[in-house]
Amino acid sequence: MTREELMDLDRQFDHDTSIGGLEAWASYFAQDGVMIVGKGIDIIGPSAIKKEMESAFSMPGFNLRWEPIDCDLSVDGTLGYTYGTYVRQIMDPEGNVVETTGKYTTIWKLQPNRQWKIALDIGN
């Protein structure tokens, strides 16, 4: 994996989630992958992450997009991170789009099956 490929993987994660929604989001996490949500609560594994994010993805007008800014890889090529900015949109009760922006960091880990999966994801 090169740095360019890691950036492309993060962009593919964004693209797949924009099309496939919750199922796509959860599929990118390793079996022991962690998503840190509000107040530092850790959600572990794709099934728990899917359950946690179900309400967000079902909100009217929900849209989540992100773009990596940069990344790096470990010397041995088994661990990497990406970070960037995201935009989340929902509709308020009056039908207006409410937009929230923030930053994220995703740590990617090479799995035994040679696939890259998310080991840790956090956004603010």
pLDDT at 68 over 80: yes
Strands 41-44 and 63-73: unpaired
pLDDT value of residue 77: 95
**What is the number of residues in the chain?**
124
- The Cα–Cα gap between 121 and 107 comes to 6
Q: What's the topology of domain 3-123?
A: Nuclear Transport Factor 2; Chain: A, (3.10.450)
Q: Is the alpha carbon torsion for 95, 101, 104, 110 positive or negative?
A: positive
Residue 47's CB is within 10 A of a number of other CB atoms, namely 12
Strands 97-110 and 41-44: unpaired
* Cβ-contact 105, 10 below 8 angstroms: no
Q: What is the DSSP letter of 38?
A: G
| 94-114 confidence digits (pLDDT tens) | 999 999 999 999 999 999 999
Q: Which one-letter amino acid corresponds to residue 23? A: E
| 19-45 confidence digits (pLDDT tens) | 999 999 999 999 999 999 887 789 999
- The Cα–Cα gap between 37 and 21 comes to 18
